[in-house]
A and B are shown apart, each in its own frame.
Chain A
Amino acid sequence: MKASFFKTLRTTLLNALWMMLITFPIMVIKVKPRESLVSWRWMNLLWVGIGTFSLSWIWRYLLSRRDKGSKLNAGRGREVLGLLWGKKKIRAVLLAALTLLVIWFPWIVNLYQVGIITSGLMFVILGLGLNIVIGYGGLLHLGYAAFYAMGAYNYALMYLYWGMQFWLALPLGAVSGALFGILIGFPVLRLRGDYLAIVTLAFGEIMRLLLLNLSDFTKGAEGIAQIPRAAFIRALSLQEATNYLFYICAVLVAFSIFIIRRLENSRIGRALEAMREDEIAAQSMGINLTRNKLITFALGAFWAGLAGVILAAKTTYINPGSFTLLESVMILVAVVLGGMGSIPGVILGALLVTLIPEYFRALSDYRMLMFGVVLVIMPIFRPRGIIPKLRKHYTVKEVDCSS
């Protein structure tokens, strides 16, 4: 006990010293060339030392706590939730309440709020889509925003050239997203893990650069403006159109949850999971990796394409800047934070990732920093996310064995 305390103390002190040494040139020395003066800010050194020491100490404390056996109660809250959800009556009441809340929502808050929540819902769709690729298929995809862009530009360009309507663009965007997913899937079939991550990241950037530079076709950085909002019989006022889009988003979220839940508990869903767990064993059990990887990409990209069309209709203006790496990372964070493979987890994650920066404007400058921290911390302390996936429990009819 005591020995381990001193050991921790030593490592922590060493960490602090290292940090002080490394940051010495930037934190302590300040050269003022005009006055040809060098000022030494020794206090900064002290702060770096104290800061690193305490952070390192907290880190170690958390690690030791994690190792001590938090394993036992991990996911217990989730199980209680699952139990409640399992009761048909409770579920019906909850669903009805939720539906009423969704219908009422635009009438009790202002336009701005409706817009924010709509973005949140859009991210839920994106998160659920990426969750198929990462959570089920186990393919670390960092260029997901490319599919999102595909859907958005699909609508924008088809509107620009052919006057395409929203309701036609919605399925077309989703399908073209899926096709694009397959197209991108082919070259990366043999890649896994870090390699796949790097290549898909590059794909995401290539897509953005193409949109930026094919300016004759896509209008480049200037973007495409005045994309029509979704129309309902007649053109709607801004207020109406915003509410309408909110409802559409809510319905699409419900739709995606429905579809993805069914896929999850099916032959296809199981095959994807097996592929995530162990490619070699999956192949040896008769699973066609090529086919299933392409299916994974297509299913994932489908939802991104859908969300893209909604984005175009919501903002009425898109440019390549809406589809940067930051977007891909945000969706990834939503999935990792909420819980890979867990539908309720991803929904919560997507809402957190979009709504926190919106409601705490002061924080939004530090978004990338926070996302980075989340991506490092989560896998260590809560690898299965805030709401971990609950495995399906099969009840089996008791067949008489004695016969």
Chain B
Amino acid sequence: MSDTILDIRNFSMIFGGLHAVNCVNIHIDKCEIVALIGPNGAGKTTLFNCITGLYTPTEGDITVYNSNKKTVRINGLNPNKITELGLARTFQNIRLFNSMTALENVMIGCHTRLKAGILGAILRDGKTRAEEQGVIDTSMGILKKLKLERYANETASNLPYGPQRLLEIARAMATEPQLLLLDEPAAGMNLAETKRLDYIISKIRDEEQITILLIEHDMNLVMSIAERIYVLDYGELIAEGTPAEIKANPAVIKAYLGE
């Protein structure tokens, strides 16, 4: 189990004078479910944005270990390159392709693994057609896995809130990631939906061998599925450990409840 796939060393992100994340070390092993928790404004999303290439870290190294043991330092790489390396994410404030259908949203996720160029699109030769059909089938399969198939031809913006969050996960899964980064996936979900999310996340890990790093405020969810937890507060990593250790950690209790 100690195959590291993501290693973050001495990582800092500074906005102007604000240390959003300060000298943080995080490592994630293959097939783990790791949670990142902390009060609002702690720097969790910022960390995600740096890992996925939306921001370039001020300091430190973020290293990805590929499935074939190739190490790549991903600081400052373009987001699309990082996605190609097997990292995919969802967004805290849902960012679906709103006027496209749910199925098309998932099909976009397949983009990097397809080859058809302009010429292929125009000629629509056998290979391109087969590829297109493959995309539709794969995408539909992913929708089915998340029980979203009835929304397949529905415009994404017309979906209820919970299914929109799930659709973001479906879209990310279409990139065939090794590591899935989920930014507050349960935010705005009702109790039943959260329960199902719990099940879905475990299933994704168990069946697809996708490692998961999630930011979440719902402590029930975190405690039930996370195997390890990192706690951020004001950009500092204040604790790390199993759910039981975190629950008992005085620093964490102080950060959450105040003094």
Contact = CB atoms under 8 A, between A and B. Distances in A.
Contacts of B53: 283
B91 interface: yes
Contact of A285 (B118, B149, B171): B171
A262 B109 contact: no
A285 B101 contact: no
Contacts of B83: 283-286
B116 A274 contact: no
Interface in B113-164: 114, 116-118, 120-122, 124, 128, 131-132, 135-137, 140-141, 144, 149, 152-153, 155
Nearest to A391: B101
Given A284-B89, A394-B153, A269 B101 contact: no
A268 B124 CA distance: 12
Interface in B27-67: 52-54
B95 interface: yes
B108 A284 contact: no
A288 interface: yes
Nearest to A266: B121
Given A270-B107, A277-B100, A286 B112 contact: yes
Given A285-B175, A393-B153, A396-B136, A270 B104 contact: yes
A283 B79 contact: yes
Nearest to A395: B153
B10 interface: no
Contacts of B132: 266-267
Interface string B97-108: 111110110011
A284 B84 contact: no
Interface residues of B, number: 50
Nearest to A277: B97
B73 interface: no
Interface string B216-246: 0000000000000000000000000000000
Contacts, number: 122
A278 interface: yes
Contacts of A270: 100, 104, 107-108, 111
B95 A286 contact: no
A394 B149 CA distance: 12
Of listed A270, A280, A299, A392, residue having the most chain B CB within 10 A: A270
B121 A274 contact: no
Contacts of B103: 394
Contacts of B136: 394, 396
B121 A281 contact: no
The DSSP consensus for interface residues of chain A is: helix
A271 interface: yes
Contact of B108 (A263, A266, A274, A396): A274
Nearest to B52: A284
Contacts of A284: 52, 54, 79-80, 83, 88-89, 91
B78 A285 contact: no
A184 interface: no
Contacts of B104: 270, 273, 391-392
A286 B97 contact: no
A399 B137 CA distance: 10
B99 A268 contact: no
B96 interface: yes
Interface in A237-264: 259, 262-263
A267 B120 CA distance: 9
B84 A286 contact: yes
A268 B101 contact: no
A73 B202 CA distance: 42
A48 interface: no
B80 to A, nearest CB: 5
Given A287-B108, A287-B111, A273 B121 contact: no
B112 A259 contact: no
Contact of B97 (A273, A299, A393): A273
A238 to B, nearest CB: 36
Contacts of A72: none
B100 A268 contact: no
B122 A262 contact: yes
A129 to B, nearest CB: 15
Contacts of B96: 277-278, 281
B116 A281 contact: no
B215 to A, nearest CB: 15
A263 B118 contact: yes
Of listed A268, A299, A392, residue having the most chain B CB within 10 A: A268
A285 B114 CA distance: 13
A282 interface: yes
Contacts of B141: 399
A283 B95 CA distance: 12
13 contacts: A262-B121, A269-B121, A270-B100, A270-B108, A271-B108, A273-B104, A274-B100, A274-B108, A277-B97, A278-B95, A280-B91, A286-B111, A396-B152
Given A266-B120, A267-B132, 6 more contacts: A268-B118, A270-B100, A281-B95, A285-B111, A288-B78, A394-B152
